[in-house]
Chains A and B, each alone.
Chain A
């Protein structure tokens, strides 16, 4: 969604309203109904599932002394409300309240998202990921949608790492892209090599899937097939440049399984979209059907607007003496990714570019 340069806070609020409408219109157009919920809920609903929430719940006693919580999460609320075996497609635009574990600060976080509960596997993944990509497109600017499959990691490590401490280190190595820590893991050499492949997967989705295929001994075929199917759907929809297969975004293994994903926007330091399949969470609440969904965190974008520098173009492309055809193709690639680009032979003073990159760097 186009934004004027030099937005003020007021303009940000207006922009947020426009994005909210665009997103909720998008979800409605796919048949999702609006889901509303209470801000105050009994704390006992959350006390058993503290690990699901990465932050602490804000609590207070009601007039009868019962401990209440300010709603910390939407998905869990939807999961509790849905009937066993019910198929439900809902979207929401709500604020959630959390206390940061490190700083102890209270935070009110704006979340817009959707939940697709029930249904066969296959289509829900395709539709949810497509809507996630469209949501990022709606917000505007260059974005990346990173996709992983938690089942692949679970299958790969099954039978080799019963020790929860070792599993924690395996997941940390993947999430933090730490290839140098793999050598100390007490797992068989072939598993270590497979983990190394996961941690160092190439950027392009197609290359990443090919790398996964090369390490597949047959047991990993279903999760790789699933990844290839969803990345194929997104490529066909025109998001080939923006999607990555990237296992660093793995969710909590106690609640999530299968396809897991996160969205990043250029210039925003943290993920602005996060989602995945959460059948395990459903089962913990006694619901036999599966579920998948995502949330967009508009608050993360506010900082980008506030700190966005006054620039003449997003990118100053320094081309040196490269052939004209190469320069044209690089500019086209970058503009298709959503950047504004100025190509020049050498970097010059007095031109305010978001960043300066050399032609060779566009090659990837």
Chain B
């Protein structure tokens, strides 16, 4: 049995379709229900649906053997897992965005609203710029509009949301996309199953 942690939402659905196409389908998953664990003993797979930012936690602690997670989350949480494949889906960038026309006068610490505090700290430490982190969990774009922060560090896919809120990208920190990760111990004992799945995903990618 191989346990797969899938992120709830669009990315998870898209990866599940790929897995189903290469023989890891689980009919229960396709029904309209609120279950979070799905199993197909015959195919030897179990799916666990979790919050996208928690996927790597499940995998690192061995509650799932493999998982699908964005590189942005891996960079932020630095889990001790194998990162076996770049699936080239869910492509986006972690960026600094500011209100259109904003200039950093460097006269005070820059207030940065973000759900990526570690990534933001490391980015500004590299530029020797003092910052104040304002940790948020959602609607990050709101922060500069209401004066909560000067800039934001967030993922940007098309930039439409930023534009609609009067913000623009001022710096691109790093590119991100979905990665296929595995628990280091599971990999030693279920290597054949994990590699078969990896090969299937690679062929589909």
Q: Do A and B bind each other?
A: yes
Contact with A along B100-140 (1 / 0, CB 8 A): 00000000000000000000000000000000000000000
| Contact (Cβ within 8 A) B62 A268 | yes
Contacts of B189 in A (CB 8 A): 142, 144, 264, 266
**B: number of interface residues (CB 8 Å):** 26
Contact with A along B34-52 (1 / 0, CB 8 A): 0000000110100000000
| Contact (Cβ within 8 A) A364 B191 | yes
Q: Which of A298-322 contact B (CB under 8 A)?
A: 318
Contact with B along A221-250 (1 / 0, CB 8 A): 000000000000000000000001000100
Number of A-B contacts (CB under 8 A): 72
| Contact (Cβ within 8 A) B44 A358 | yes
| Contact (Cβ within 8 A) B192 A270 | no
Q: Is B86's CB within 8 Å of the partner chain A?
A: yes
Contacts of B1 in A (CB 8 A): 353, 355-357
A11 to B167, CA, bound (A): 61
Given known A-B contacts A268-B185, A269-B62, A346-B42, A176 and B83 have beta carbons under 8 A apart: yes
Contacts of A347 in B (CB 8 A): 41-42
| Contact (Cβ within 8 A) A264 B184 | yes
Give, as a whole number of angstroms, the nearest-CB distance from B28 to chain A: 15
Contacts of B42 in A (CB 8 A): 318, 346-347
Q: Is B24's CB within 8 Å of the partner chain A?
A: no
A355 to B188, CA, bound (A): 15
A244 to B187, CA, bound (A): 12
Q: Is A96's CB within 8 Å of the partner chain B?
A: no
Q: Is B85's CB within 8 Å of the partner chain A?
A: yes
Q: Is A198's CB within 8 Å of the partner chain B?
A: no
Query: A363's contact among B82, B190, B192, by CB below 8 Å, is which?
Result: B192
| Contact (Cβ within 8 A) A177 B84 | yes
Contact with B along A112-148 (1 / 0, CB 8 A): 0000000000000000000000000000001010100
| Contact (Cβ within 8 A) B184 A270 | yes
A347 to B191, CA, bound (A): 21
Q: Is B168's CB within 8 Å of the partner chain A?
A: no
Contacts of B81 in A (CB 8 A): 176
Contacts of A357 in B (CB 8 A): 1, 44, 193
Given known A-B contacts A270-B80, A356-B41, A361-B196, A265 and B85 have beta carbons under 8 A apart: no
| Contact (Cβ within 8 A) A361 B82 | no
The 8 A-B residue pairs whose C-beta atoms are closest, nearest first, are A269-B62, A180-B86, A144-B188, A355-B1, A364-B192, A177-B82, A264-B185, A347-B41
CB pairs A–B below 8 angstroms (5 shown): A144-B189, A177-B187, A267-B62, A269-B183, A318-B44
